[in-house]
Structure 1
Amino acid sequence: MTAFRLTVLISLFTHGWIQAERVYPSPKECENDSEYWMKLGEDEIKEALAQPRINRFAKNVILFLGDGMGITAVTAGRILKGQKRGFAGEEGYLTWERFPNIGLLKTYSLDKQVPDSAATATAFLSGVKGNFRTLGVNGRVKLNDCKASLKEKNRVKTILEWAQESGKETGLVTTTQVTHATPAALYAKTPSRKWQCDTRMKGLGGGTESCKDIARQLVEDEPGRNIKVIMGGGRQEMGSPLAKGEKEGEGGCPRGDGKNLVDDWKSCRKNEGKTYSYATSTGELLAVDTENTDFILGLFGDVHVPYEVDRDNSSKGTPHIKEMVEVAIRRLRRHDKGFFLLVEGGRIDHGFHYSKPKRALEELLAFEEALEKALELVDLKETLVVVTADHSHVMTINGYPERGNNILGLIETSEDVSDGLPYTTLMFTNGPGYNFTWNDKVQRRNLTGVNTGHKDFVSPSGVPTREGGETHGGEDVAVYASGPMAHLFHRVHEQTYVAHVMGYAACIGPYDGCVRSVRDRSNAYTTLCD
């Protein structure tokens, strides 16, 4: 560092123009000793050698999908979790990071190096790859090609359908619209993820009128109409009366056909002679009698469920994702033949698209709480739990911050930085946070005194995008698993492999005739991240 830069920094600190980043302490003084690390390694070797393979068939399968939760996001979330507890954070773990089995998944779609959530969801839910922005169809269907999507040979079955055909009950929980890409891939067959309601399909030509919008497929068609638990946002797409608008995330899809699909869903249940509950608030959800209710529909946002940092925690507000998961599992686990449940932390993705890491990472930690609640409610000797992401984002953890430096904070400066200005540890290669000017040389925003940990702080980026336009990343994502047949995740796999493992573990779908010996092994999961 030059003497001039050092003098400037001292002056800035003296006058209070730079607020020093909080450095969180390491929780273990013994980290400085060799013996600590040797003991840690020996203990992990012993634990690895003792891990059993659970070769039983999986009565239940739960897939936890963190939308946009790439490895960088997981690392940042792990650190934030520790720092919220007053520690440095790097030494900790997220719950799924202590699962006994892990692999990597390739995320490309058939026509894109970097995918979207529709193509990836089709892959990990059906075992077949498709094209960008298409749902529940194979590579013969291109974007917006309604005619091709109607051909039975181009439609793929999903783990949800496999489960229902085998007699299991099914459910989905998401923090996005229930018609959004990931949940829609469970039940919809469409050449465009954007066709969430009828107004997105009008005027497109090409026989589009022959196709049905995603919301109608959920309520009117199999397998959507047979889903026992549906929770998320999307009152607008469903034609239900709205409460209030939202500022973040993708826009809604107001119906133009006058249909109220919530009323249609209720009428269907009545005609079947089934009991049902429809909830729009936390109080209504927690009042559901899970022991005596056949179907549960919860819509907790006009578009998406509010971000965790914005959520109304009162009984009149919207439920935490862990509350949705608890009600879902309590309802589904009644069934003798077991269940399949998809849980999506969908707004992790939205926070990153807006380059607002505080929002995204708080969603990630709420998603972890939902997983912890699920683990309390199921037996991992008979339940396969898989945690993964559909894709990553272009966020990076950069610079050389001190150990325990606020993960949402600044690196004040370093001798490698030519302009001497502080910068954030979390940055994006593209996004709405692009902020450079030219004055004989490139100048960037001075973040001195800026609260970079605020929920609406937009992290700097290298390439400008529209608001909400930060892109996905194309690298592999991790998959973590515990329970029966979890050991099948063991290397770099195609993303389609997830559906095959779930199907094989539960002996459903293409594996409905599988036979394997049953060993009553002890639970392979242990909590080591308190």
Structure 2
Amino acid sequence: MKNLLIASLAVLLSTNVALTQELPQKDSKWFTDAQARIQEMVARQPITGRAKNVILFTADGNGVGTNYAIRLFSGQQAGGLGDDYVQPQEAFPNLALVKTYTTNGQTADSAPTASAMNTGVKSKNGMINIDETVAEADCAAGLDHQLKTFAEIVSEAGKSVGVVSTARITHATPAAVYAKTAQRDWEHNGALPEGCAQKDIADQLIEQMKAGVIDIALGGGRGMFIPADAKDEEDKGGKRTDGRNLIEEAKVAGAQYVWNDETFAALGDAATTPVLGLFESSHMKYEADRTGEPSLAEMTAATIKSLSGNENGFYLMVESGRVDHANHDGNLYRTLTDGKAFADAIALADELTNDEDTLIIVTADHEHAISFNGYCGRGSPITGLCYDVNGAGVEHTGTPLLSDDGKPYTVAGFLNGAGSVLKQDTQWTGSRPDLTNEQAMDKDYLQQALIPMSSETHSGEDVAVMAKGPWAHLFDGVIEQNYIFHVMDYAVNAK
């Protein structure tokens, strides 16, 4: 039967080739590229062996729109027009759209979305790995309704676990790998309500490291681990009110501790675990501003090399957390530079692993209220002005398009945020300021927005999931976000 199917496909392909040879467009690169893609798709075979390793990449806030902007930026930085650029994850063979709503929110925050991917069920906004029956911030009920995480499941099976983020390691997305809390903001004990018996998120991380569930944790958030009356290596104070220094407790328990690029580099290519890396008091620096700390790609590579020493395999969650923060700020430039750093980390992880035994999943927890204006000619700078389409050529004309107020506008903007055109220099104006391309492309420029808000919001749009490796073909169509857990779980347990 299989041989008959292959023979039938061969006949169809040969017939198709004969037909296309007669078309006047047959020599167009667009045409020949598409024909080559057909051949590639026909030859593709799913990988159905058991996944030894699973890597879940999440760029916080990197929905389909933000991903499109990063693609344009990366392609233009490489000297092209941008839109035809292919990011590493966009070359992965399997793709689905993901619904990001939560049990009580049409638009999600990062806590329940990350929880869905790590537990297999949806839950409420604001909570991490607590079931949907609990009210947000109900400490007592939260203790009785905790969910088991993928990290705990694979750790019991003998796998190693790592978590890497450019945000605070106690922030919502990385915390979902190891913590259970009725309120995502309970990152240190001083944030807990009086009388709450739940452990804060930083405490839970150290507890999970001591228990052997978490082997490597790299990110920001040093202040969540040290006392309020103490100073860290960069002379910044802590947040804890219980007098505990969790970094010292981790070191006593055998963890290696690193806090800057030099101590990180000293770990070498195959660091013994556990490792705790805290590179900033709060979030790590944006990639555009990064000094004195490792890149996301460097942290990812070091973690993979270390965890690969376990013959049973590993689970690694990697978050580019500050894509989200730059979107919230309305600062597109830093959104895109962190997005490019995310893609670099994916490319390196792909290079360091084998498709036959490693399932790599690239997704986002939610999208933002980003929008794109038209009708821009190709090559219009994604952080700059929208230029007119060139009717006689490919690249834009260099003439900015004007809106009905007679002023130019940028390629991208936001529905809401700090760059609202209704409010300029603290004054309500109801009119847009004039703008040059040089001003728009400044790395500190805030994109024009409509509704005035101090922090731009998430949106409820679908995000994409792109995957390769064992059982990646199970990603198809439009899926619920919690389904991602089930693919990971199936892949590591496949017979």
Residue 447 of structure 2 aligns with an amino acid whose one-letter code is: S
Long gaps (5+) in structure 2:
1-24, 388-398
Kindly state the Cα deviation for residue 437 of structure 1 after the two structures are TM-superposed: 6.2
Aligned to 1:266: 251
**CA 1:427–1:33: 2 relative to 1, 3 Å:** farther
Kindly state the Cα deviation for residue 40 of structure 1 after the two structures are TM-superposed: 1.2
Residue-by-residue CA offset, 1:58-114 (whole Å, 9 max, x unaligned): 000000111000111111111111111111011111110010000011000100000
Q: TM-score, normalised by structure 1?
A: 0.82
Query: 1:66·1:389 contact (CA, 8 Å) conserved in 2?
Result: yes
Work out the number of aligned pairs and report it: 455
Q: Distance in 2 between matches of 1:279 and 1:222?
A: 15
Q: Distance in 2 between matches of 1:128 and 1:160?
A: 15
SS of the equivalent of 2:406 reads: coil
Alignment partner of 1:295 out of 261, 267, 274: 274
Aligned to 2:140: 147
Alignment partner of 1:110 out of 103, 113, 118: 103
Q: Distance in 2 between matches of 1:415 and 1:53?
A: 47
What percentage of residue pairs aligned between the two structures are identical?
A: 39
Aligned to 1:90: 83
Residue 385 of structure 2 aligns with an amino acid whose one-letter code is: L
Alignment partner of 2:461 out of 460, 475, 478: 475
Structure 1 segments, 4+ long, off by >6 Å, are 413-416, 437-441
> What does 1:19-58 align with in structure 2 at a 5 Å threshold?
35-58=28-51
Alignment partner of 2:117 out of 124, 134, 153: 124
SS of the equivalent of 1:327 reads: helix
Residue 227 of structure 1 aligns with an amino acid whose one-letter code is: I
Residue-by-residue CA offset, 1:190-239 (whole Å, 9 max, x unaligned): 110000011112xx45x42x111111111124787531111000110011
Kindly state the Cα deviation for residue 291 of structure 1 after the two structures are TM-superposed: 3.7
Aligned to 1:173: 164
Query: 2:59·2:323 contact (CA, 8 Å) conserved in 1?
Result: yes
Kindly state the Cα deviation for residue 329 of structure 1 after the two structures are TM-superposed: 0.6
Q: Distance in 2 between matches of 1:497 and 1:259?
A: 39
> What does 1:200-215 align with in structure 2 at a 5 Å threshold?
200-201=191-192, 204-205=193-194, 207-208=195-196, 210-215=197-202
Residue-by-residue CA offset, 1:15-71 (whole Å, 9 max, x unaligned): xxxxxxxxxxxxxxxxx9962111011011111111110000000000011100011
Alignment partner of 1:281 out of 238, 260, 263: 260
Alignment partner of 1:344 out of 295, 319, 331: 319
Q: Distance in 1 between matches of 2:286 and 2:235?
A: 13
Q: Distance in 1 between matches of 2:423 and 2:274?
A: 56
Query: 1:354·1:458 contact (CA, 8 Å) conserved in 2?
Result: yes
**CA 1:238–1:296: 2 relative to 1, 3 Å:** same
Aligned to 1:305: 284
Is 2:472 aligned against 1:486? yes
**CA 1:345–1:454: 2 relative to 1, 3 Å:** same
**CA 1:375–1:415: 2 relative to 1, 3 Å:** closer
> What does 1:250-261 align with in structure 2 at a 5 Å threshold?
254-261=239-246
Aligned-residue CA RMSD (Å): 2.2
**CA 1:224–1:72: 2 relative to 1, 3 Å:** farther
Query: 2:386·2:401 contact (CA, 8 Å) conserved in 1?
Result: no
Query: 2:165·2:218 contact (CA, 8 Å) conserved in 1?
Result: yes
Alignment partner of 1:134 out of 102, 119, 127: 127
**CA 1:445–1:322: 2 relative to 1, 3 Å:** same
Kindly state the Cα deviation for residue 442 of structure 1 after the two structures are TM-superposed: 3.8
Is 2:306 aligned against 1:331? yes
Q: Distance in 2 between matches of 1:448 and 1:291?
A: 49
**CA 1:459–1:291: 2 relative to 1, 3 Å:** closer
Residue 494 of structure 1 aligns with an amino acid whose one-letter code is: E
SS of the equivalent of 1:443 reads: coil
Is 2:149 aligned against 1:163? no
Q: Distance in 2 between matches of 1:331 and 1:180?
A: 24
Alignment partner of 2:436 out of 448, 463, 467: 448
> What does 1:398-437 align with in structure 2 at a 5 Å threshold?
398-411=373-386, 417-436=403-422
> What does 1:491-530 align with in structure 2 at a 5 Å threshold?
491-507=477-493, 514-515=494-495
Residue 225 of structure 2 aligns with an amino acid whose one-letter code is: M
Q: Distance in 2 between matches of 1:211 and 1:301?
A: 25
Residue 177 of structure 1 aligns with an amino acid whose one-letter code is: R
Q: TM-score, normalised by structure 2?
A: 0.88
Kindly state the Cα deviation for residue 290 of structure 1 after the two structures are TM-superposed: 4.6
Residue 168 of structure 2 aligns with an amino acid whose one-letter code is: Q
Q: Distance in 1 between matches of 2:210 and 2:105?
A: 28
Long gaps (5+) in structure 1:
1-31, 247-251, 270-275, 508-513, 516-530
Aligned to 1:220: 207
* Comparing 79-88 and 111-120, the one that deviates more: 79-88
Residue 295 of structure 2 aligns with an amino acid whose one-letter code is: H
SS of the equivalent of 2:297 reads: helix
Kindly state the Cα deviation for residue 490 of structure 1 after the two structures are TM-superposed: 0.8
SS of the equivalent of 1:500 reads: helix
Kindly state the Cα deviation for residue 377 of structure 1 after the two structures are TM-superposed: 1.0
SS of the equivalent of 2:447 reads: coil
Alignment partner of 1:59 out of 52, 57, 62: 52
Residue-by-residue CA offset, 1:351-382 (whole Å, 9 max, x unaligned): 10000010011001001111111112111110
Q: Distance in 2 between matches of 1:133 and 1:280?
A: 29
Query: 2:304·2:349 contact (CA, 8 Å) conserved in 1?
Result: yes
Kindly state the Cα deviation for residue 120 of structure 1 after the two structures are TM-superposed: 0.3
Kindly state the Cα deviation for residue 471 of structure 1 after the two structures are TM-superposed: 0.4
Query: 2:329·2:418 contact (CA, 8 Å) conserved in 1?
Result: yes
**CA 1:47–1:310: 2 relative to 1, 3 Å:** same
